[in-house]
């Protein structure tokens, strides 16, 4: 079992920046790829970014490429999502998740993730 706790979400103006954190506990963290997803009201959960267990490879949704950066610190069992140049359409609940062991790369589909956090709200205002 892996427990994930996201933090860092808040209200921010368009063009601003936020850094989300996801702290993991429980089973071994650093053997699994990690991902960030988001879900806006009335919409399906969508992939945002993923990072391999070593941190050597990352993958992004086209909508955030060049603005968001995913990273991880395995010594701290934490994964981060740095979000810059935020847009109104980035407003959503952001979730981190642990990929299932042996999942393919890039790991972009929700069913490929075994454990999820409770989410943190990011609201971008004009």
Please enumerate in sequence order all residues whose Cβ is within 8 A of that of 118, keeping only pairs 6 or more positions apart, or say none.
4, 5, 6, 95
Residue in the structure block whose two tokens are 């993958």: 59
Instruction: Please list, residue by residue across 90-105, b when 16 or more beta carbons sit within 10 angstroms of its beta carbon and e when fewer do.
Output: bbbbbbbbbbeeebee
pLDDT at 2 (0 to 100): 85
Question: How crowded is residue 78: how many other Cβ atoms within 10 Å of its Cβ?
Answer: 18
Convert the pLDDT of each residue in 27-52 to its tens digit: 766 688 999 999 999 999 999 999 99
Q: Mean pLDDT over residues 70-77, rounded?
A: 94
Q: How many residues does the chain have?
A: 126
88: tokens are 């109104």
């Amino acid at each position: 079992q892996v427990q994930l706790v996201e933090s860092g979400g808040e209200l921010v103006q368009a063009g601003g920046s936020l850094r989300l954190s996801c702290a993991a506990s429980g089973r071994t963290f650093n053997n699994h790829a990690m991902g960030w997803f988001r879900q806006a009201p009335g919409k399906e959960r969508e992939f945002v970014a993923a990072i391999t267990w070593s941190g050597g490879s990352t993958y992004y949704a086209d909508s955030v490429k060049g603005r968001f950066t995913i990273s991880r610190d395995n010594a701290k069992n934490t994964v981060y999502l740095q979000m810059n140049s935020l847009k109104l359409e980035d407003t959503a609940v952001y979730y981190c998740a642990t990929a299932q062991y042996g999942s393919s790369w890039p790991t972009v589909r929700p069913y490929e993730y075994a454990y999820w956090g409770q989410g943190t709200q990011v609201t971008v205002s004009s």
